[in-house]
Structure 1
C-alpha cells in the first residue's frame, strides 16, 4: 500500500505487460534519448521494457524500463557525446543500483537520485525488472546557484518530504504543455526543489584530493562547477588546488579528449545558453552582455564567437526562437 501511495501520481506509467525488444533495438533507443550508454545482458539478447522520451513542461523526460544486467557510461562514451545534463531519477518499479563518483546507492520505488552525465556511471539491475523516470535538467543552471551546494549520486528516500515534492512537481510538469504560461514557473520550481533536495550539509567543504588521474579529474570537475563564474578559475589555479603541475593537469585531461580551458569555456557557454533559454519565457530585462558577464566571460565578441561555434547559432537567436 505504501508503495502505491508513492507512485499514485505516475499510475499511468506502469504496465502489467511490457513489450519485448532485441538488445540492439532497445540500446539504440536509449542512446537516442539519453546519450551514449553501453548495455549488458548475460543470458540472452531480449529486453523486456521500453526506453521512451516525453515532454515535461519543456523538459525532456525519459522513461527507462528494462530487465538488463548492467547499463554503464564510461569515459570513452563521454568523449563521444559529452553533454551538460543532470539526470533526476525517480524510481517507479523494482530497484536500481547506481555507482558514480565513488558512491554506491540503491534506489527503490519512490526514491530519487541525481546522476551526472559528464561523469562515468554504472547502473546495476541484475536481470530484474526496473522502471524509472529520468528528467534531464540543465546541469549548469542547477550548479550556478551558490546558495546551495548540490551533491550528485546521493539518494533521497521515498519517505523524505523533499522526495514527495520532487515527484509532485515532475507529475505536474508531465501534465503541462511547454507552451503553457505556467511551464517556466514549474521548471524553476523543479530546479529550486532539486537544489534543496540534494544540498550538502556543509557548504564550504573542499573535495578530497586523490593521487590517481581519474580521482584528480573528479576533484577538478567539482571545483570547476563550484567556481565556474569566478575570475580566478584558470587551469593554473586548478593545478595548484590539487597539488600538481599544470603539465600533469593537462595530461590528466587528455584522457577526456579535451583540456581544462576547453571544459571551463564549454561549461560557461552551457550556463549562458540555459540562462538565455529561460529569459525568453520571462519579462526580466536582462541583456545578452549581462548574461555573458555573469557566466564568467569578460569579452563579448569572444563570447559571441564561442557561442556560435558551440551551438551553431547566436545568443540572439536563442532569445528569438
Structure 2
C-alpha cells in the first residue's frame, strides 16, 4: 500500500523507542541472539488520519496492562498485514494474520503480536477513539478480525490503496474518509450481528493452540524431561492438532523446542567468554534442556556450523 521504504539495521532499543514515539507504550521482545533489528518505521497522513508503516524482524511486540496505564490509549489501530505472518491476541481473539488480513486493536487493552523473528510488514491506521466512539458507540471492540477473502476487507484495502495512489484534493479526501469509516461500521455491525461472520477462513482454534504451545515451551524448554506429547497434554489437544498449529508458522513443535534450547545455550556460551572456564559445555547443554551431550553437539553444529566449544 505504501511506497517502498528503505529498511535498515538498527539496535533493538532504538526500534523500541521509535515505536513508542509513534504508536504509544509498546514493548518489543527480541530473540535471545538478536541485538539488531531489520526494518523501518514511517508515519504518513492521509485524509486527516495517521498511518504508520511498521516493518520488522523482531520476535514480538506487546502492550501490557502496565503499558496501557502509561499513556491515554487515544486510538484504535486498524492493522493491515502486508507481508509475512503475525500471531495476534487481544481480548478473546487469537488469530494468525496472513497478507491481506486485518484486525482492529483497542490501545486501551493489552495486546500481543508475535512475528517469530521473521521479517514482516504491517500498515497501522490510527483511528481517534473520540471519533470512533461518536460514530459507533458500543459496537467497538478490539480483536475484530477480517480475512483477505472477506469483501469488506477487500473494500477497506481498496480505499486505503486509493488514498496512497496519489494526493487527493480536499473533496476527494473527505469522500475517501467517509468511505473508510462506513466500511469500518459495516465490519463492526456485521460481527456484532454474527460473531462467526469473519472467522470462516480463519484457523482461530489453531492459532489459539499455537499461542498456548509457544508460551508453554518458552516457559519450560530448560526442563530436560519436557516432551512434545506433554505439551499436547498440557493444552488438552491432540498431537496432530498441535503439529497443524505449528505448521502455521512453518515449523514443528520439536523444531521450536530445539530452537529455544539452542538459543539459550548460545547465551550461556557467550557469557562464558567473559569468565573462561566457569561452565563446561556439558553443563550448558543440561542447563538448556538437553539431556544428551552428543545430541546437543549434533544439533548445535547443524544450526551454527561449528561445535559449541568453538562458538
Say whether residues 1:24 and 2:28 are aligned partners.
no
State the partner residue of 1:149. Answer: 139
The answer (yes or no) to whether the contact 2:37–2:58 under 8 Å persists in 1 is yes
When Rg is computed on C-alpha atoms for both structures, the one with the higher figure is 2
Q: 1:152 to 1:181 in 2, by over 3 A?
A: same
CA contact (8 A) 2:136 2:185 kept: no
Counterpart position of 1:51? 41
**Distance change >3 Å, CA 117–CA 95, structure 1 → 2:** same
Provide the rounded CA distance (Å) in 1 between the counterparts of 2:168 and 2:23: 20
Asked if the contact 2:87–2:115 (Cα under 8 Å) also holds between the matched residues in 1, the reply is yes
Q: Does 1:34 align with 2:38?
A: no
Of 75, 98, 104, the match for 1:108: 98
Q: Structure 1 residue aligned with 2:82, among 80, 92, 96?
A: 92
Counterpart position of 2:50: 60
- Residue in 2 that maps onto 1:249: none
1:245 corresponds to: none
Matched, 1:12 2:7: no
- The answer as to 2:118 corresponding to 1:128 is yes
Q: How many correspondences in the alignment? A: 194
Q: Secondary structure at the match of 1:76?
A: helix
Matches of 2:177 and 2:67, distance apart in 1: 29
1:144 Cα offset (Å): 2.9
Q: Which consecutive unaligned segments of at least 5 residues does structure 2 have?
A: 196-311
Whether the aligned pair in 1 keeps the contact of 2:2 and 2:164 (CA below 8 Å) is no
Deviation at 1:203, TM superposition (A): 5.0
Change (3 A) 1:51 1:173: same
**2: CA distance between counterparts of 1:88 and 1:168?**
14
Output one character per residue of 1:255-311: Cα deviation in whole Å (capped at 9) or x when no partner: xxxxxxxxxxxxxxxxxxxxxxxxxxxxxxxxxxxxxxxxxxxxxxxxxxxxxxxxx
Change (3 A) 1:131 1:108: same
TM-score (norm 2): 0.57
CA shift digits 1:153-187 (9 cap, x unpaired): 13211111111111111112224558623222211
Q: TM-score, normalised by structure 1?
A: 0.56
- In the other structure, the counterpart of 2:157 is 167
CA contact (8 A) 1:63 1:132 kept: yes
1:132-158 Cα shifts (integer Å, max 9, x gaps): 100001223223335982443132111
State the secondary structure of the residue aligned to 2:18: helix
- Does the residue aligned with 2:25 lie in a helix, a strand or coil? coil
Contact 1:56 1:176 in 2 (8 A): no
- C-alpha root-mean-square deviation of aligned residues, in Å? 2.4
Q: In structure 1, list runs of 5 or more residues that go unmatched.
A: 1-9, 206-321
